Amino acid sequence: MSLRDHLLELRKRLILAAVGLIIGTVVGWFLYTPVYEALQAPVIDLAERDDALVTVNFGGLASALDMQFKVAIILGAIISSPWWLYQLWAFVAPGMRQVERRYTIGFMGVAVPLFFTGVAMAWLVIPQAVSILVGFTPEGAANVLDAQMYLTFAMRLILAFGLAFVFPVLMVALTWAKIVPARVWLKGWRWAVLIIALAAAIMTPTPDAVTMMLLATPMTILYFVAIGVGFARERQRARKRPALDDDAEAETSL
């Protein structure tokens, strides 16, 4: 494909992904109340456990409406993730052979569960993060959490965890499309581990190392698994190439 064709394909996939995001956002709008109640639950439980004034507060007249829009958009990204993950694969797939494009089901079968695994891990981290951060409140003082900051933090954390778990699948796709060889990923493993650790520290804003390791460890393992899958595919492709060359020579001689 020419550069122009790649750009047209990219525009097409972005438009389709945006349509899916809009539909997911509409669904997310109606799911806002139960999601908000679930995210507020750790705060309420903490207040009851410590008999302290800890609550989520909407500071402005339009804050609640604005927050519902923001949460609905992030929920839309999570709900529509199978759709935009497919668009991502479909953009990479033209660089592959026809037989390799048949692995679409395999890509989706791995990427989607990994994304939701990351979402589930973030959901488990949020109560611990709230407990640790609120625990720094001095005795006798109140902790009134700004709804905008708290809900934005929680939803971005959930989305970030999901994307972090999908990245290794993207690595495999780029290797299979011959865009980034597996040896390049392996050569940069030290930088990758450092970036993973920094990303885990940023995405888990709690002072304890355990929470950070809960994210960094599986991300690191998945990174090396992706490299292994990439090398296996390259070796398989190398074994098939001599046979293809022999067939081409035979046809030429005829």
Q: What is the overall mean pLDDT for the chain?
A: 79
Please give the pLDDT value at position 249: 47
The pLDDT of residue 250 is above 50: no
Please give the pLDDT value at position 241: 65
Q: Give the model confidence (pLDDT) of 159-192 as tens digits.
A: 888 888 888 888 887 887 777 888 899 898 889 8
Q: Give the model confidence (pLDDT) of 72-84 as tens digits.
A: 998 999 999 999 8
Give domain limits for the chain.
3-253
Q: Give the model confidence (pLDDT) of 96-154 as tens digits.
A: 555 555 677 777 888 889 899 888 888 888 887 777 777 766 776 667 777 877 888 88
Q: What average pLDDT does the segment 222-239 reach? A: 86
Q: Which amino acid is at 236?
A: Q
Dist. CA 220–CA 13, nearest whole Å: 29
Please give the pLDDT value at position 15: 93
> What percent of the chain stands above pLDDT 70?
80
Dist. CA 29–CA 23, nearest whole Å: 10
Q: What is the DSSP string of 92-121?
A: HGGGS-TTGGGGHHHHHHHHHHHHHHHHHH
The pLDDT of residue 57 is above 70: yes
Q: Any bridge partners for residue 57, and if so which?
A: 146
Q: Give the model confidence (pLDDT) of 27-43 as tens digits.
A: 999 998 898 888 888 77
Dist. CA 242–CA 115, nearest whole Å: 38
Q: pTM value?
A: 0.74
Q: Where are the alpha helices (DSSP H) in the chain?
A: 3-50, 63-79, 81-92, 104-134, 147-176, 182-187, 189-203, 209-253
The pLDDT of residue 240 is above 50: yes
The pLDDT of residue 216 is above 60: yes
